[in-house]
Amino acid sequence: MKYEVVLWRRFQRGVMELPFSGDVEACSSLSAVFVLMRRYRLSGVRHACVVVAPGSVERWCVGHGFWMRL
């Protein structure tokens, strides 16, 4: 399935957030987040948004060492 993904990463000691985005093929929305992280060579991100269907967005963040859907 094709997903549109946006990732936000802290930069310069948390002063600003930089977005990374792209369309990816993956088997799930969380998989799509990891595919885009690999594409940009990001080891971690603050949070992610994934368009799972027109008008439907899933939000993900990392808390206490694991991914949570908001």
Segment holding 26, helix H or strand E: none
Structural domain count, the chain: 1
Q: Domain span at residue 55?
A: 2-69
pTM: predicted TM-score of the whole model, two decimal places: 0.84
Residues 6+ apart with CB under 8 A from 42: 7, 9, 20
Per-residue model confidence (pLDDT) at position 44 = 83
First to last CA, the chain: 21
Q: Are 38 and 53 in contact (CB under 8 A)?
A: no
- Tokens (6 digits) for 45: 């991100």
pLDDT tens digits along 4-41 = 999 987 666 656 677 899 999 999 999 999 999 999 99
